[in-house]
Amino acid sequence: MVELLTFAVHPYNILFTGVLAIILLYWLSVIVGVLDLNVLDIDADLDTEVDLDADLDVEGDADLEAGGALRGLLQFLFVGEVPLTLVLSAFCLVLWIGVVSTNWALGTSSWKMAALIVLPNLLISFFVTRIALIPFRALFRRLNAEDQQVKDVLGLEGIMLSAADDVRLGQMEIQEKNSFLRLNVLAESNQQLKKGHRVRVIQKLDAHSYQVEKLEE
């Protein structure tokens, strides 16, 4: 183990080890609450279409192609579905493992050889990172869907189907277009709700219940 750590700070590996150390410090900051998971995320739609003049020059075409390639790469790594910080962390970890392991196995003895090792490891890291992020993509899709459902429900009004207070759960029914949605709800503090009362959803309490406020008759 000591020998591996010593090799990790070898001049051929020090750049990748340094980047990994920064990432570890970032995640430590996230754990203690100093930084946020989405600190690097950009609020941008990767599928946004941009209107361009038909008479583009050669340089403009090159910029457009570069932008399309970058967007395709970001989509390949699920950026926009998975936090950018998680994508970068996974990619750098995979790349570090690949570079250090390859240098170790081949006994790299020159900068030229070390440089040649980086390119294939870069390519392999993109594919390995994508595979590693698949379960995280599913997780964040589910979390985002739940968040959207909460946003869709908050502020909606409905009728109480059973009595409730700030301790005892009741049920309310919301009519949206041609469909009906039933929610488990609690009243505000010291408030009594009866069957037939009209209420409004004001916040989500947990995975299975919401808090409502009584509306004036």
Q: Which sequence spans correspond to the domains of the chain?
A: 2-151, 154-214
- β-bridge pairing 209-214 and 179-186: parallel
Q: What is the pLDDT of residues 47-105, one digit of tens each?
A: 444 443 444 454 555 555 656 778 888 889 988 889 999 999 999 999 999 999 999 99
Q: Classify residue 198 as exposed, middle or buried by CB count within 10 Å of its CB (0-12, 13-18, 19+).
A: middle
Q: What is the pLDDT of residues 190-217, one digit of tens each?
A: 889 999 999 999 998 887 789 999 998 6
Q: How many angstroms separate the CA atoms of 207 and 200, rounded?
A: 18
Percent of the chain surpassing pLDDT 90: 46
Q: Classify residue 210 as exposed, middle or buried by CB count within 10 Å of its CB (0-12, 13-18, 19+).
A: buried
> Which residues share a beta bridge with 193?
164
Q: How many angstroms separate the CA atoms of 184 and 125, rounded?
A: 46
Q: Quick check: pTM over 0.75?
A: no
CA angle, corner 83, sides to 82 and 87, nearest 5? Answer: 80
Q: How many angstroms separate the CA atoms of 93 and 115, rounded?
A: 18
CA angle, corner 109, sides to 108 and 111, nearest 5? Answer: 90
Q: What is the pLDDT of residues 89-146, one digit of tens each?
A: 999 999 999 999 999 999 888 999 999 999 999 999 999 999 999 999 999 888 776 6
pLDDT attached to residue 100: 93
Written as one letter, the residue type at 188 is E
DSSP codes joined into one string, 105-169: HHT--SHHHHHHHHHHHHHHHHHHHHHHHHHHHHHHHHHHHHHHHHHHHTT-EEEESS-B-SSS-
Stretch among 3-7, 75-79, 91-95, 171-175 having the lowest mean pLDDT: 3-7
More confident residue, 52 or 31: 31
Q: How many angstroms separate the CA atoms of 178 and 171, rounded?
A: 19
Distance of CA 13 to the CA centre of its chain: 29
CATH superfamily for 154-214 is Nucleic acid-binding proteins (2.40.50.140)
